[in-house]
Structure 1
C-alpha cells in the first residue's frame, strides 16, 4: 500500500503531513520553522531564518537534480517535492523560488511508480491553497498563476498513471479530491477573465472528472447559480466512487499523433501515411471531451519541433478547427455558451504550443514557419492593429502572425470567448517569448519583431483584457519593468526559473508511445517494488526473467501495423545546445587551423628566401677571394673559354 502523505492544515495555518512528522530528520523543515519564519519581526532573526531557508533551497535543488534533469545518485524526487511544498509556505522570495523549483522539476522529471504518493501530496496541497487561500483574496496574485501551472503538471502526470492503471490502490487519495473538485467548479467567476489560469484549472477539473468517474455537468462551470439542484447530488456521489481505468480509451486522433511522433523519432518513411490518416480524423478535435484533443496537440507539437510535415499537419488541424467553430458561432448565437464553451481551451493550448515551437524547435526554419507561416509574404509580416474590421478576415495561416491578424481584427466586450481568448493567449505568450529571447544575439530578428508587435498593441489596442495579458505575463516572469521600453539585457536566471514547459510534452509523448505500441523489452512505468529488499547481485538474473514475464501490455485497440519503438530519445534543449556549441567550436577550430597553415607557409617561404640569399652572398665571397689569389674569374673546377685555348695554341706553334 502507498504511504499516506495527505496534507493536513493545523490551527496555525501550516500544511503538514503525517508521513513527514514520523520521519523527521535534523535537517528537515518543521512546522515551527515555518511559523517563526512568517511571524518573526526581529530583523536579526529574520536574517538568520532567511539564511537557513536558503540552505534548504540549495539542498532541495540538489535532491531535485535541476541541472541533471532529475537524474543522479543524489536525486530523490518524492522527498524533494515534499520539502519544496513545505518551503513554499514561507513568505517572500523563498516562496517564489520554491514554486519555481517545483514547476521546473515537475516539467522535466521522468515517470516512476514511486512518485505517485508524493504527487498526490503535491496535488492536494496545491488544491488546498487554490481553494482555501487564493479564492478568499480579492486580487490576483502571482502565486496563484504558479500554483495553477504546478497543478496542471501534477494532474497531467496523474492522468498518465491513470492510463496505465496504476491508481487502483489510491482510492482514498481520490476521495479526498471531492471537496476540491466541488470548489473548483465555481472558479469560473474568478478566473474567466484570465484564460492562462482558467485553462489550467479546467484541465485539472476534467482530469479529476475522468479519474474519479463522476459525471460533472458542463453548465456548472459557467453558470453555477442556475444549477444548484444538480450540485446537491455531489455529496451523495462521493460515497459511490468507482474507478474503471480499463474502460477508458483514447481517441483515434491522439493515437495517430503518438504514431507520428514515433515515426519522427526513428525517421520512418511511414510518416506521410500516418499524417494522412491523422488529418482524416480531424473532426475528433471538435468533440466536447477535449482532454484527448489537448494531449493530441501536445504530442503533435513535440513532433512539429523536429519535422516540418508534422508542423504543417498541426497548423492544418487548427485551421480546420477554427474555421468550423467560427462558422457555427456566427450562424447560431445561442450556442456560444452551451455547445462550444470548451473550444477556447483548445485554442489557448494551441497558442502556447505554437510559442514553444518558436522558441525550442530544432531548426530555424521550423521556428520561422511557426511564427510567420508557410506563406512568406509581406502582408503576413506587417500587421497593423490600428483599425477593427466589422467582419472577420479569411484565416490563411494558423501561425502566430496569422492568428494575431485574425483575432485582432474584431474584438469587443461582447465578442465570442474564442476570439478574445485566442488574442489574449497570443499576447500573453509573446510577452514571455520576448523575455526568453533577451540577450540571445542569434535570435535578434525574432526578438525585434515580437517587440514591434507588442509596441503596436500598446499603442493601438483599447481592450482592457488584452492589456491584462501583458500585466499578468509581467507578474509571472517576476519582472516589474515595462517590456515595451526596457532595453536592458536579460539577467542570467537560476535553474528552475522557467516560463514555458520544455520537457513535459516529450515525456508524455515518450510514455504514450510505449502505451500505444507496447514492447516486451520496455517498461516505462515500473510496477510497485517489493517490500523486502534483496541483494542485487544475487537476484539479478531472476529479476530480469521475472520482469520479462510480468510486463503488462496495455493495448488500446488492435492495429494491424504497429510501428516500432523509437531507437533514440528526443534530444532535450541542453543536448541540442551542446551539439550546436560543439559544431561552432569545430568551425572556429577549422578556421584557426587554416590561418595557422597560411602563416606557416609564409614563414617557410621567408626562411627559404633567406637561405638562398645567404648562399649567394657566401658564393660571391669565395669568387672574390679566388680572383684576388689566382687572378681568374672562372669558377673552381671550370675550364677556361675555348677562345682562350685556341689563342694559346697559336702562340706556341711558331716557336716550335
Structure 2
C-alpha cells in the first residue's frame, strides 16, 4: 500500500510539477512567477548533492538569504499580518527550502509550523494549503515509509500536516472547498497509503494522533465534496446522514455548538455563560459517540475558553472525567458488547492531555494554571501520592482530571497488556510535561511550578520500567532539538538559533473565533473573507481620486428641534454587549426549547408504548384465565357472573 520512492521522480522534480499545477488554480498568477522564486528543483539538487566546498558555501548563503526573506513574508513577529506579509507565496518557498538537507530544512519546517499556527483564515490561502498538503503527504508516503527508523523531521511533518488539514476542515465547514475537487482527487492516493501507517506509528501516539486527524478530516471532506472516495473505512452514518447548508453539508454536534457558544460568552463577558455551560454538561454523553472529530474540536474550543474562565475549566474537567469513567468501566463495555467501538477513545484522551498542558502554560491567571496542574482541591495529598510513586500499593481512583491526578491514575494502571487509553494517557502526560519543562526553562517566576513537573518526571525515570513511556521522554527531547537525535544512527547537532514552538499556541483561538462567527453569529460577526477577488487599484490613482472627492465635499448643518421630555426614553439605549447577550440568549433558548420538545416527544412515545404493552398484557392474562376456567369448570361465564343475568342480557 505504501509508495516507494524508486517508482516516482525525485522529490524536488515532483515539486516542480506540483507547483505548475498549483499556479493554474490561482486567480492572480503575476504574484507567483517562477522568476520571483530563486529556489527551484535544480537549486535543491545542487544543494543536496554538491561535493565542492566553495559551491556548497555559496548555495548555503543563498539559502540563508531566502530564509530571511521568508521570515519577513510570513510575518512571524506580527502574527501573519502587515503590508509586507504574503503567506501563500511564502509557504510555497518555505516548502521548497524544506527539501534542503541539514539546518536549512529544520529551520524551514519550524518557520512553516509557526506560521500555520498563528495565521488567520483567508480564502486566498486555499491553493497554497493544498500545495502544502500534497507536499507533506508526498514526503510521508515516499520518504518516511521507506526508512526503517523514526527521524525528527518526520515528527515535524506530522505536526505541519495536522495544522494544514485542520485549516482545510474549517474551510470545508464554510463551504469553500466546492471548487477544489481536483485538488482533493490528487490527495487520495497518498491518503490511501497513509491509512496503512498504524504499524509504523502506533508506538508513538504523538505522531499517530496527528495522522488520524489527517485521515479523518480527509475522509469527511472527500466523501462530501467528491462523488467517489478511495477510503475503505466503514462509513459513519452519524457524520454523513445529516445535511446542513450552513456548514458545507456537514452537521456539527450539539456538544461542539455549545462549546463554541461558551467561548463566545467568555469573549463577550456574557451573563448567559452559566446557562450555556449547564446545557453543555447535558450533552456531555456525546463525547462517547464515534464521530470523534467533533468531540476533539469541542475540547479545543472549550480549552480556549478554560484559559480565560474558571467555570469553563471546571466544565471541561467534568465532561472528560465522565468520559474516562465511562470508557474505563469494563462491565458496561461487556454489557453493551461494543468494545471495538471505543478503539478511537485514545485520540480524545491524548487531545485532552495536550489541552490541559497548554492551560498550565498559557492560561490568563495563575489560579487557572495551578488548577490545571493540581486540581481544585488545594491539598497536598495528591502531590504526595505522585511523589511517592512506586511505593504505594493501593490503586488510586480517578478524582479530578488535572495533570497530577491523571498521572497518578494512569501510572498505577500501566502494564504490558493494559488498555490503550491508559497507555496513551500516560504517554501523553509524560510527553507534554517534558515540553512544559522546556517551555518554563527561562521563567524564574515559575520555579515552583517547574520544580513540581521536574520531580514528577524524575520519578518516572527512576521507577517506570515500561520502555514505551521512556520513549515519550526521548521523543519529546528530540522534537525540542536536543543536541543528540536518538532516532538517527549518528549524533546530529542542530543549530541553537532555531526557535521551536513547543505547542500550538494560536490555532485553537483561530478555530474558536472562526467557528463562533459561523455557528453563533452576533451583530458585528462576519464570516470568512469573500471568495470574490479583491481589486487592487493603483496607489497614485487612488490618492488623486480621493483628493478630488475631498475638494467637492461640503458639510451641511441643520438645526433640529429638541424633543420634549415625554418623547425621551425612560431608560438608556442598550449598548452593543447587551444586544449581543440578548441575541445569544435567544439562540441558546431556541436550541434548548428544540431539545426539550424532542425529549417530550420521545417521553410521550415511550409512555404510549408502555400503556399499549400493559393493555395487551392484561388482555392476554384475562384470556388465559378464561381458558383455564373453561377447562376446569366447563363454563364460559366470567367469574362472579350469574348465568341467569347473562341470559337475560342476551
With the shorter chain as reference, the TM-score category is 0.7 to 0.9
Q: CA RMSD in A?
A: 3.2
In the alignment, which residue of structure 1 is the partner of 2:141?
A: 131
User: TM-score scaled by structure 2?
Assistant: 0.74
C-alpha displacement of 1:445 = 0.7
1:522 & 1:243 partners in 2: Cα distance?
20
Matches within 5 A, 1:49-448: 49-213=59-223, 231=232, 246-328=248-330, 332=334, 338-382=340-384, 383-384=386-387, 386-387=389-390, 392-448=395-451
Moved more, 501-510 or 336-345: 336-345
1:269 & 1:293 partners in 2: Cα distance?
25
1:471 & 1:433 partners in 2: Cα distance?
14
CA shift digits 1:396-445 (9 cap, x unpaired): 01000010000000211111100010000000000011011001101111
From the superposition, tell whether residues 187 and 346 of structure 1 become closer, same or farther in structure 2 (CA, over 3 Å): same
C-alpha displacement of 1:233 = 12
Q: Select the residue among 463, 473, 476 that pairs with 1:473.
A: 476
In the alignment, which residue of structure 2 is the partner of 1:644?
A: none
CA shift digits 1:37-89 (9 cap, x unpaired): 10012222222211111111000000000000000100000000000000000
Contact 2:224 2:249 in 1 (8 A): no
C-alpha displacement of 1:148 = 0.5
C-alpha displacement of 1:265 = 0.7
1:563 & 1:496 partners in 2: Cα distance?
43
2:452 & 2:147 partners in 1: Cα distance?
37
From the superposition, tell whether residues 531 and 331 of structure 1 become closer, same or farther in structure 2 (CA, over 3 Å): closer
2:292 & 2:395 partners in 1: Cα distance?
25
5+ residue gaps, structure 2: 1-6, 25-31, 236-242, 487-493, 547-582, 590-650
Contact 1:388 1:410 in 2 (8 A): no
CA shift digits 1:568-600 (9 cap, x unpaired): xxxxxxxxxxxxxxxxxxxxxxxxxxxxxxxxx
- Secondary structure of 1:502 counterpart: coil
Contact 2:272 2:585 in 1 (8 A): no
User: TM-score scaled by structure 1?
Assistant: 0.73
- Secondary structure of 2:34 counterpart: coil
In the alignment, which residue of structure 2 is the partner of 1:220?
A: none
Contact 1:103 1:496 in 2 (8 A): no
- Secondary structure of 1:177 counterpart: helix
Contact 2:262 2:276 in 1 (8 A): yes
What is the aligned residue count?
514
From the superposition, tell whether residues 561 and 407 of structure 1 become closer, same or farther in structure 2 (CA, over 3 Å): same
- Secondary structure of 1:36 counterpart: helix
From the superposition, tell whether residues 275 and 92 of structure 1 become closer, same or farther in structure 2 (CA, over 3 Å): same
CA shift digits 1:546-589 (9 cap, x unpaired): xxxxxxxxxxxx9971389xxxxxxxxxxxxxxxxxxxxxxxxx
C-alpha displacement of 1:527 = 1.8
From the superposition, tell whether residues 161 and 402 of structure 1 become closer, same or farther in structure 2 (CA, over 3 Å): same
2:261 & 2:519 partners in 1: Cα distance?
8
- Secondary structure of 1:25 counterpart: helix
In the alignment, which residue of structure 1 is the partner of 2:587?
A: 562
CA shift digits 1:85-135 (9 cap, x unpaired): 000000001000000000000000001000000001001111111111111
1:205 & 1:402 partners in 2: Cα distance?
32
From the superposition, tell whether residues 11 and 349 of structure 1 become closer, same or farther in structure 2 (CA, over 3 Å): closer
In the alignment, which residue of structure 2 is the partner of 1:630?
A: none
> Which protein is bigger by CA-based radius of gyration?
1
In the alignment, which residue of structure 1 is the partner of 2:465?
A: 462
5+ residue gaps, structure 1: 1-7, 217-227, 235-241, 484-490, 540-557, 565-656
1:465 & 1:356 partners in 2: Cα distance?
23
C-alpha displacement of 1:518 = 2.4
Alignment of 1:518 with 2:528, yes or no, is: no
Moved more, 500-509 or 378-387: 378-387
C-alpha displacement of 1:385 = 5.9
C-alpha displacement of 1:334 = 10
Contact 1:259 1:274 in 2 (8 A): yes
Contact 1:253 1:296 in 2 (8 A): yes
CA shift digits 1:512-565 (9 cap, x unpaired): 0000122464324112233865576879xxxxxxxxxxxxxxxxxx9971389x
C-alpha displacement of 1:31 = 1.2
Contact 2:520 2:584 in 1 (8 A): no
In the alignment, which residue of structure 2 is the partner of 1:450?
A: 453
1:106 & 1:266 partners in 2: Cα distance?
26
C-alpha displacement of 1:381 = 1.4
